[in-house]
Amino acid sequence: GAGVSQSPSNKVTEKGKDVELRCDPISGHTALYWYRQSLGQGLEFLIYFQGNSAPDKSGLPSDRFSAERTGGSVSTLTIQRTQQEDSAVYLCASSFVQEQYFGPGTRLTVT
């Protein structure tokens, strides 16, 4: 079956611009997560959506970061006024129970 998909796969943007990253989770998965992986680091939790509950935004590094999940399915992560330290691979995962299944990620480069 189809796995988690993310778009774009690569994004190069200029410092100060806004970017939107998209995630399509596995159909039927109620939970959706965003992580980011900076060079040489492990995965850093950003935000979690579960059904209709209020999202857990505790991992978002600043108020420039926001995320939405429409209709309990597709999610968009938005980074406003990008900074060079935002450069990383942004990974989306979805789950039904505890095992999370990851998409291929979006590599964001801020120049």
Partner 1 sequence: DQQVKQNSPSLSVQEGRISILNCDYTNSMFDYFLWYKKYPAEGPTFLISISSIKDKNEDGRFTVFLNKSAKHLSLHIVPSQPGDSAVYFCAASADYKLSFGAGTTVTVRA
Length of the chain: 111
CB 43, min distance to partner 1, A = 4
Burial (CB count <10 Å: 0-12, 13-18, 19+), residue 9: exposed
Residues binding partner 1 (CB under 8 A):
4, 6, 31, 33, 35, 40-45, 48, 50, 56, 59, 91, 93, 98-105
> Are the C-beta atoms of 17 and 82 separated by less than 8 Å?
yes
Burial (CB count <10 Å: 0-12, 13-18, 19+), residue 82: buried
CB 86, min distance to partner 1, A = 19
Name which of 63 and 99 has its Cβ closer to partner 1: 99
CB 91, min distance to partner 1, A = 6
CB 81, min distance to partner 1, A = 27
Name which of 16 and 61 has its Cβ closer to partner 1: 61
Report how far residue 31's alpha carbon sits from residue 100's, in angstroms, rounded to the nearest whole number: 9
Name which of 41 and 52 has its Cβ closer to partner 1: 41
